[in-house]
Structure 1
Amino acid sequence: MANGPWRKEEERVPISNGPVLRTGGPLRLRDWLVAQIESGLYAGLRWEDPDKTLFRIPWKHAAKQGYQAQQDAALFRAWAVYKGKHLEGTDKEDPSTWKTRLRCALNKSIDFREVRERSQLDTSHPYKVYRLVSDHTSRPGYQAQDLGHPWSPVPCEDFNSPDYWLHVRLFYGPALVREATARTAEGCHLSPGTAASAAAQRLLGPPARLAQVHFPEPPPGARVLRRLLPHLERGVLLWVAPEGVFAKRLCQGRVYWRGQLAPHRAQPNKLEREHTCQLLDTRRFLEELHAHLQDGRPEPEYQIRLCFGEEYPGPPDQPEERLVMAHVEPFFARDLLLHARRLRPGTPRGPQQGIPGWPLTVNPSRDASPSPTH
């Protein structure tokens, strides 16, 4: 609590927003972390190169000899305080959870990439090294005001907001075997129904908000499918951010995708393992939606397809459906498009415009309710 050992260190350890709050509002993780590096307030947090593209974060485990929470968890605590996840004098001190929150934020951000060959985790002073990938600080949030309706979400952490929801349908061949809505800003984790590996759990952190959407047990005679699923054990992360929809492949098995930002239309597009990939761009979607309303252009593409274990699309002589696929729809895009249809004259209205099975909810860390198709 606030009267614990942290209070003894408050003059030396930053425990509030410190130098990072600007008149422009809350900072993104990239800007916040750069400000912490430049401040020099955290021992071991420093740049690794003169160009300031690589930086080092101390990463000592709580069980390691010589661990001191006041120093070794200071940065993680500061991030929790800044994001409103730790309230002074109210919440219990929880260094493990603080560390997990920052780790998950780094893993999901498009601004960072861990440089594992430079990280040192087995030394007396372990650390991780990350690279700043690109600068996205100049990008705006959603700009839906131009569409003539009041839907205008802003980047926030309202975990009940549909702005971050994803609707997922899982297929074995042409058969719909599971359908669910992930109602969480943390995103969802697509993986087989077996328990995820310990390594995956360490990467994903506590599943308090991350929705688990599991591939169901295949039928007894589906030998090829049963051989494929173990290679997908660590699964794929999917989430919505103000910039759009993102994915990160964790599993060993290959995953291919098709969507708005796919570089190839008639050739396979592979998700590279452990790399964050943007699947949909919000600004482009809104521009295309505006052109659809104003100039009668085609409706913008917002649906995303993932194919597991097989190249997608396949050869022309093979069916469109592959062995294991996921169809993903971000709610904000679907709702905007449905609203646009209502604005255009002659567009049919009614419940048939909704997503099949709406509304199904994935409780955080629980499997989705199956919707088998026979």
Structure 2
Amino acid sequence: MAGDPWRREEGKVPDGGGGRPSAGPGGPLRLRDWLVLQIESGSYEGLRWEDEGKTLFRIPWKHAAKQGYRARRDAALFRAWAIYKGKHLEGTDKEDPSTWKTRLRCALNKSVDFREVRERSQLDISNPYKVYQIVSDSAHGPGCWLHVRLFYGAELVREATARTAEGCRLGPRAAAADAAAERLLGPPREAQVRFPEPPPGARALRRLLPHLQRGLLLWAAPEGVFAKRRCRGRVYWRGPLAPHRARPNKLERERTCQLLDTRRFLEELQAHLQDGHPEPEYQIHLCFGEEYPGPPDQPQERLIMAHVEPIFARELLRYAKHHRHSAPGARPQAPHF
């Protein structure tokens, strides 16, 4: 076709979305996962991450009537999505950049995984773009990520990020029986955050660790953050849903306990942004083997403590602070979920 810009212009169409890529046993990729692959590929000019945490990304958004518009470059991503979804058959269907762009825009707007960040989009410049935020199941899967800092007394002895949907297990190294079962059944699916070997002379720590052998399970789900105590040793906690603020809250053994509620966090974040209410609480403190908090005359440090942060909550609050500082005169808008 003589009027076909895809054949008239030089160069090769980026192939990040051409054809139907294999998505493994899960079937075709969701838009979120497909887009992340395209961003990471570097195949599309102007399509890139906007922040180090990879929760914001920029999509070139030039109108076909704008000066300097080139279909091969400026509609390449939209075309790739149409091909991937089976809405455009190369060599057979008419090239239709306007329709491709509309399809991707509608898909982004309908998806619960994205929110357009209008205050960061730039549509009136020579190379316009839109900015979107990934608001669920982040680019690396950061909806179920948990960041854990482990303390012996006041000393930070381990720091880890659990990146699995199954969460993580906090506890000592597996006993011989558990190790044998692992060899038979395969490694556990949850991440393992091991308690380090105590320093020489730390007799109280050495006495406590055997009572924590089966550890504590922690995981994040769309509804919030949950825990299940499996060890014989007692575990106490403090967090957004703790029933008591001034006295200890114990986790019952082999019973699932919700530590953070996502809906409540989002409601409190919205109240913070719109009405100046206090920041929502999202950090969770776990204390192993000793009551926490203790009497007022005792130091807050304990033999073993874990400070846990659900990364989705931390990043949303960080984004809210950034928005307030970058536009102090504007009335902040809460993210939409």
Shared fold (TM-score, shorter chain, > 0.5):
yes
Q: CA deviation at 1:344?
A: 1.1
Deviations 1:331-367 (A, max 9, x none): 100110110111113799xxxxxxxxxxxxxxxxxxx
The answer to whether the 8 Å contact 2:225/2:258 transfers is: yes
The answer to whether the 8 Å contact 2:113/2:134 transfers is: no
Cα distance in 2 between the residues matched to 1:279 and 1:209: 21
Q: CA deviation at 1:153?
A: 1.3
Q: CA deviation at 1:292?
A: 0.7
Q: Any residues of structure 2 matched to 1:193-272 within 5 Å, and which?
A: 193-195=173-175, 197-198=177-178, 206-207=186-187, 209-272=189-252
Distance 1:177 1:264, change over 3 A: same
Q: 1:171 aligns with which of 151, 156, 159?
A: 151
Deviations 1:32-62 (A, max 9, x none): xxxxxxxxxxxxxxxxxxxxxxxxxxxxxxx
Q: Residue 253 of structure 2 aligns to which amino acid in structure 1?
A: R
- 1:189 is matched with 169
Distance 1:200 1:250, change over 3 A: farther
Tell me the secondary structure at the aligned position of residue 271 of structure 2: helix
The answer to whether the 8 Å contact 2:152/2:302 transfers is: yes
Q: CA deviation at 1:274?
A: 0.1
Distance 1:337 1:235, change over 3 A: same
Distance 1:266 1:329, change over 3 A: same
Deviations 1:82-131 (A, max 9, x none): xx679xxxxxxxxxxxxxxxxxxxxxxxxxxxxxxxxxxxxxxxxxxxxx
Q: CA deviation at 1:209?
A: 3.0
Cα distance in 1 between the residues matched to 2:257 and 2:313: 18
Cα distance in 1 between the residues matched to 2:177 and 2:215: 10
Distance 1:296 1:244, change over 3 A: same
Deviations 1:251-304 (A, max 9, x none): 000000000000000010000000000000000000000111111111100000
- 1:333 is matched with 313
Q: Residue 241 of structure 1 aligns to which amino acid in structure 2?
A: A
- 2:133 is matched with 150
Q: Residue 255 of structure 1 aligns to which amino acid in structure 2?
A: V
Paired-residue identity, % = 70
Deviations 1:146-204 (A, max 9, x none): 998633316xxx994111111100000000001111111110000113437439958xx
Q: Residue 168 of structure 1 aligns to which amino acid in structure 2?
A: V
- 1:296 is matched with 276
Q: Residue 261 of structure 1 aligns to which amino acid in structure 2?
A: L
Q: CA deviation at 1:145?
A: 5.3
Q: Residue 150 of structure 1 aligns to which amino acid in structure 2?
A: Q
Q: Any residues of structure 2 matched to 1:5-154 within 5 Å, and which?
A: 150-153=133-136
Q: 1:314 aligns with which of 261, 271, 294?
A: 294
- 2:325 is matched with 345
Q: CA deviation at 1:307?
A: 0.1
The answer to whether the 8 Å contact 1:238/1:248 transfers is: yes
Cα distance in 2 between the residues matched to 1:319 and 1:227: 21
Q: Residue 153 of structure 1 aligns to which amino acid in structure 2?
A: S
Q: CA deviation at 1:207?
A: 3.0
Greater C-alpha Rg: 2
Distance 1:85 1:262, change over 3 A: same
- 2:258 is matched with 278
Cα distance in 1 between the residues matched to 2:198 and 2:275: 47
Q: Residue 268 of structure 1 aligns to which amino acid in structure 2?
A: P
Cα distance in 2 between the residues matched to 1:266 and 1:144: 39
Tell me the secondary structure at the aligned position of residue 343 of structure 1: helix
Cα distance in 2 between the residues matched to 1:147 and 1:316: 45
Q: Residue 214 of structure 1 aligns to which amino acid in structure 2?
A: R
Number of aligned residues: 207
Q: TM-score, normalised by structure 1?
A: 0.50
The answer to whether the 8 Å contact 1:159/1:184 transfers is: no
Q: CA deviation at 1:227?
A: 0.2
Which consecutive residues of structure 2, in runs of 5 or more, have no partner in the other structure? 1-24, 28-111, 119-131, 329-337
Distance 1:307 1:215, change over 3 A: same
- 2:88 is matched with none
Q: Residue 256 of structure 2 aligns to which amino acid in structure 1?
A: T
For the aligned residues, what is the CA RMSD?
3.1
Deviations 1:10-42 (A, max 9, x none): xxxxxxxxxxxxxxxxxxxxxxxxxxxxxxxxx
The answer to whether the 8 Å contact 2:235/2:288 transfers is: yes
The answer to whether the 8 Å contact 1:160/1:184 transfers is: no
Tell me the secondary structure at the aligned position of residue 150 of structure 1: strand
Q: Residue 169 of structure 1 aligns to which amino acid in structure 2?
A: R
Q: Residue 164 of structure 2 aligns to which amino acid in structure 1?
A: T
Cα distance in 2 between the residues matched to 1:146 and 1:281: 25
